[in-house]
Structure 1
Amino acid sequence: MFSKVLVANRGEIAVRVMRACRDLGVRTVAVYSDADKHAGHVRYADEAYNIGPARAADSYLDHDAVLEAGREAGADAVHPGYGFLAENAAFARRVEESDLTWIGPSADAMQRLGEKTKARSLMQEADVPVVPGTTEPVDSADEVKAIAEEYGYPVAIKAEGGGGGRGLKVVHSADEVESQLETAQREGEAYFDNSSVYVEKYLEAPRHVEVQILADEHGNVRHLGERDCSLQRRHQKVIEEAPSPALDADLREQIGDAARRGVREAGYTNAGTVEFLVEDGEFYFMEVNTRIQVEHTATEVITGIDVVKWQLRVAAGEELDFDQDDVEFDGHAIEYRINAENAADDFAPATGTLETYDPPGGIGVRIDDAVRQADEIGGDYDSMIAKLIVSAGSREECLARSERALSEFEIEGLQTIIPFHRLMVTDETFRAGEHTTKYLDEELDRERIDQAVERWGSTDAAADEAEADDAESTEREFTVEVNGKRFEVNLEERGAPPIPDVDVGAASGGSGAGTAGAATQPDADGDDEEVIVEADGEQVSAEMQGTILSVEVGEGDEIGAGEVVCVLEAMKMENDVVTERGGTVSQVLIEEGDSVDMGDTLVVIE
């Protein structure tokens, strides 16, 4: 077994991996960006290293920075978690060529299965049914239109390296092709470092069912049953469960066998997930996620198998010690993603301070998180702050227990989708297990979501009476970085006045008090500068923290009400920023790639 593992990720999945390491007596190394200096995964790790600025491309996606941290720490293996570099075959190959061990499938297997067109071809060879579409990437709008004419609209444009709904765009008519193709390519490049896309027929009302697999280097392949991930908003999962309420015993066996057959054909090892679409009693291969999944927890609960621990063991060369017939499914489990989002505002990302963070407990309740009370939740990364996993002997009992657990989950200081979850566990369609991937976006009455948020979504926190006592405390905590490595320093001093938090060794900077007609915003180098804003006209401001993906207007442009002025990426979601009224653009204060804070002025319209 390894002695020290670097976890190339952040948040709850980084802590989840570290806990599995500790169970095996393995030390852990965290990496973190400037935005994550005080993050939970950094606190939990045995040691931690700064790898760059907040922007993921300059930190968590920086191959050289991650590998250098591994060498500096003396780690002997790298676990990528999910997202970021988890499905990046080029990075996996670099790890394989180094002195480190890659905890995941080989780079060759990742290339065969991680790129969706190659995976579709391979599955066809393994006699696994696939959704009709291309087995080669497409480059132009004309190619997409030709495919749509063959199969009929709608079609789906998908990023080859995509997942979680990122890089997936549905096209309903020819006049949408060009813009949707551009967006899918841009998201693929931004999130997966791969702008290549392919096209397939878009199924109108399928179930999303996926099979968890484990495979070792000794030729053993096992599946751990299926999960149903059909409840999605904008193609991103929000609730997952195991087993699927939509499968009978015969279809369950067929899908499990198909998943094993496909990954064996690919020479795949370690953990992975084979995803299928199920419609009218038929199933179609969609993709293979060559990594651990967010929702692996539901499988662990009903099988008693620690998937992450087996990732480590398989990478260390161990053989799976159970046969397929040994895998048993006990009861039912549902995972609720606790996202910092406002469900009543089309699930828009939310930021703020966890003034209250009090998760539920009791039998059948599991919490996976990396946060604690008083943590700041920013907009630089994914909006998920925790996962609530509820289990019981049956689905009905699991839903009843979920009602109790969700009602006990107290979060104040920012909006989350807990009110939405509380609505769903009482929703007749969801309780009956009759929902499809379209249910949330197209069928659920939006007013019911608004009412749930109004009823259960208050973020008003009571004043923290202990704050004054804390201010008088003589114990001070400092974060010190020496050559990029993080150290925690505790200083106890009697009779000293309170001092603000500082980052020792970091250059200080900031802005002074603002004046009327001025705003402090980052320049291209990330430093603050004063931007003068004209007093007259509509100031279109950022409603959330994020990164400018594109600027759609220029100074002097005439635009109408409701037109898009820029595209803002926040927590891995693209958001169109629109103007409330028409007029002439007098100032454009942002450029592509800029980071902005909530309230920053983006564009001024006269």
Structure 2
Amino acid sequence: MFDKVLVANRGEIAVRVMRACEELDIGTVAVYSDADKDSGHVRYADEAYNVGPARAADSYLDHDAVVEAAQKAGADAIHPGYGFLAENAEFAGKVEDTEGVKWIGPSADSMQQLGEKTHARKTMREADVPIVPGTTDPVEEAEEVKKFGEEHGYPVAIKAEGGGGGRGMKVVRSAEEAEDQLESAKREGEAYFDNANVYLERYLENPRHIEVQIIADHHGNVRHLGERDCSLQRRHQKVIEEGPSPALTDELREKIAESARRGADAAGYYNAGTFEFLVEEDESRGPDELLGADANFYFLEVNTRIQVEHTVTEELTDIDIVKWQIRVAQDEELGFAQSDVDLEGHAMEFRINAENAADDFAPATGGQLTTYDPPGGIGVRMDDALRQGDDLVTDYDSMIAKLIVYGGDREECIVRSQRALAEYDIEGIPTIIPFHRLMLEDDEFVGGTHTTKYLDHHLDQDRIEEAQEKWGSDTTSPSSDEEVVEREFTVEVNGKRFEVELEERGAAAIPAGNAGSGGEKPQPAGGSDDGGSDASVDGDGESVAAEMQGTILDVNVSEGDEIASGDVVCVLEAMKMENDVVAERGGTVTQVAVAEGDSVDMGDVLVVIE
């Protein structure tokens, strides 16, 4: 077995992997950015290494920094979790080529073949797995999108090859939208997955989202662990996942699962992965009816990694998927046959996002967990990395924890989930717990007739606002005027040098030492004390400021441009979502204070308009 595993991730999934390692008597190594120095996964690990500034591209996505951290720590394996570098075939190949370090995941070749969606579609088609009509080669020009729309009809989905979870996906509803949506999808693909290639698919208007968990070893054994239903989504982001699906007959369930196994065999796949499918819903179907074996289903994509919702499958099968990932990477053979896999009971996972569902799921821009008291009891599992008093880190995904509930059947699971969510006490930041409680009283969700479009197109927004008012917690954090003084020291213990950071709160400032003494306050990578744009505002007119912390993906205006009210002046990425920043009034641009790639804080001036 491995001696030490570096987890190339953060937050709850990093802790989840570390717990599996601990039970296998394996040491753990965390990596962290400047923003995460006090985060839970750093506390949990046996040792931790800083890999760069807050911006993910400069830290968690820095291939060399992560590999160097593993080498410094003497780790003999790297587990990527999900997100960040988990589906990056280039990084996986780099780890495979690093002497003494193993990659806990599918091979780089498999990731290349299945992780990039155009390759995956070709593989599935050859394996006789049904696929949605679409392209199998990257799309470069808007004319290709228009031509596809003319042939197959609108709407058309543009998807990033390396994407998943709605990242890098844009929907084109007319030829006029093709160019802007194509550029936006490419931009997101580059920003999130280091891959700007995109492809096209016919956009299904009313599908269910069904996925099959796969685990395979190096000896040719492939097992499926049943399906999960992830149809409750907002803007293509899953919020509640459950298993088994409340909409499928056993015959349809088996057809989809066998398609996933067939696809994994055809790709020579090993380790954990998820085969995702879209199932066409019968809009006339009632809660007491199920979709039969004649229902249409289509391959969507393969996630060549562990998924957020793997916990649902673990509750249903009593199989620790993360442990088997580690064992497979050590060339162990799967210790169970397909006939040994039984799905018992029902499980649901609730993503606890730091968002205000009543405000269009707007992510929190800061705050402190003044109260953090998660639920417990029979059938309740918490995956988190938080503790009371922690500050909210807003530089990354808004999901801060996961609540997983198990019951003997779906009815018991729903009742137990209502109890667990009512017990979950979080104050200091907004969360979508009130939204989850609403869903457990919603006829469509309880009846299992919802589709991926339900939240975005059918749910009454007033009901979400009422739920937030009824069940929302206190989101105010106590203010503190105490001064925090930071210093860095280099110390030596038994001949080994260490960099030590010291924080003093509420004390008088420590005088800075001379250059080279270790007494200077460290400067952020961006060159300004606040880590954001260091441009001064010298233009005349009204300022357009950032409404949240994030990264500038694109600047659409230049000094001297004439713009109208409502024009997009720049695109701000926050919480892995693109946000158009628009001018509230027209005029002449007198200053552009930011550039592509800049990090900005809430309130930073972006553009000045006269």
Same-fold call, TM cutoff 0.5? yes
Shift of 1:386: 0.4
Match of 1:573 in 2: 577
Match of 1:46 in 2: 46
In 1, the alpha carbon distance for the partners of 2:564 and 2:298 equals 44
Match of 1:396 in 2: 411
Counterpart secondary structure, 2:569: strand
CA-to-partner distance for each residue in 1:455-478, whole Å, 9 max, x for gaps? 2224345869xx99xx9xxxx999
In 2, the alpha carbon distance for the partners of 1:577 and 1:269 equals 43
Counterpart of 2:262, as a letter, is R
Match of 1:366 in 2: 381
Check 1:441–1:267 CA distance in 2 against 1; reply closer, same or farther (3 A cut): same
Match of 2:567 in 1: 563
Q: TM-score, normalised by structure 2?
A: 0.90
Shift of 1:426: 0.9
Q: Contact 1:295/1:335 (CA < 8 Å) preserved in 2? A: yes
In 2, the alpha carbon distance for the partners of 1:542 and 1:485 equals 41
Check 1:454–1:510 CA distance in 2 against 1; reply closer, same or farther (3 A cut): farther
CA-to-partner distance for each residue in 1:299-347, whole Å, 9 max, x for gaps? 0011100000100011011111111111111111110111111212211
Check 1:304–1:412 CA distance in 2 against 1; reply closer, same or farther (3 A cut): same
Counterpart secondary structure, 2:387: coil
In 2, the alpha carbon distance for the partners of 1:254 and 1:481 equals 61
Q: Which of the residues 528, 532, 535 maps onto 2:537?
A: 532
CA RMSD after TM alignment: 2.9
CA-to-partner distance for each residue in 1:265-295, whole Å, 9 max, x for gaps? 1000000000000004211101100000000
Are residue 285 (structure 1) and residue 290 (structure 2) matched? no
Match of 2:548 in 1: 544
Are residue 225 (structure 1) and residue 226 (structure 2) matched? yes
Shift of 1:481: 7.8
In 1, the alpha carbon distance for the partners of 2:342 and 2:486 equals 48
List aligned pairs for 1:420-499, cutoff 5 A.
420-461=435-476
CA-to-partner distance for each residue in 1:406-462, whole Å, 9 max, x for gaps? 111111112111111111111111111111000011111111112222222243458
Check 1:139–1:523 CA distance in 2 against 1; reply closer, same or farther (3 A cut): farther
Counterpart secondary structure, 1:232: strand
Q: Contact 2:523/2:529 (CA < 8 Å) preserved in 1? A: no
Shift of 1:552: 1.7
Match of 1:340 in 2: 354
Check 1:460–1:486 CA distance in 2 against 1; reply closer, same or farther (3 A cut): farther
Check 1:501–1:42 CA distance in 2 against 1; reply closer, same or farther (3 A cut): farther
Q: TM-score, normalised by structure 1?
A: 0.91
Shift of 1:556: 2.7
Counterpart secondary structure, 1:450: helix
Q: Contact 1:63/1:91 (CA < 8 Å) preserved in 2? A: yes
Comparing 370-379 with 44-53, which one deviates more in the overlay?
A: 370-379
Check 1:425–1:93 CA distance in 2 against 1; reply closer, same or farther (3 A cut): same
Match of 1:514 in 2: none
Shift of 1:362: 1.1
Q: Contact 2:573/2:579 (CA < 8 Å) preserved in 1? A: yes
In 2, the alpha carbon distance for the partners of 1:406 and 1:506 equals 47
Shift of 1:490: 10
Counterpart secondary structure, 1:275: strand
Q: Contact 2:533/2:599 (CA < 8 Å) preserved in 1? A: no
Are residue 57 (structure 1) and residue 57 (structure 2) matched? yes
Q: Which of the residues 307, 324, 330 maps onto 1:310?
A: 324
Shift of 1:507: 4.5
Match of 2:397 in 1: 382
State the identity as a percent.
68
Counterpart of 1:67, as a letter, is V
Q: Contact 1:185/1:197 (CA < 8 Å) preserved in 2? A: yes
Match of 2:291 in 1: none
In 2, the alpha carbon distance for the partners of 1:166 and 1:502 equals 47
In 2, the alpha carbon distance for the partners of 1:343 and 1:323 equals 43
Unaligned runs of 5+ in 1: 512-520
In 2, the alpha carbon distance for the partners of 1:292 and 1:485 equals 37
Are residue 594 (structure 1) and residue 578 (structure 2) matched? no
CA-to-partner distance for each residue in 1:3-51, whole Å, 9 max, x for gaps? 0001111111111100100010000111111111111111111111111
In 2, the alpha carbon distance for the partners of 1:460 and 1:101 equals 43
Are residue 583 (structure 1) and residue 587 (structure 2) matched? yes
Counterpart secondary structure, 2:83: coil
Q: Contact 2:537/2:593 (CA < 8 Å) preserved in 1? A: no
Match of 1:159 in 2: 160
Unaligned runs of 5+ in 2: 282-294
In 2, the alpha carbon distance for the partners of 1:39 and 1:500 equals 25
Counterpart of 2:94, as a letter, is R
Counterpart secondary structure, 1:51: strand
In 2, the alpha carbon distance for the partners of 1:231 and 1:325 equals 30
List aligned pairs for 1:73-92, cutoff 5 A.
73-92=73-92
In 2, the alpha carbon distance for the partners of 1:366 and 1:218 equals 33
Q: Contact 1:338/1:384 (CA < 8 Å) preserved in 2? A: yes
Q: Contact 2:487/2:520 (CA < 8 Å) preserved in 1? A: no
Counterpart secondary structure, 1:254: helix
In 1, the alpha carbon distance for the partners of 2:326 and 2:140 equals 39
Match of 1:324 in 2: 338
Q: Contact 2:61/2:84 (CA < 8 Å) preserved in 1? A: yes
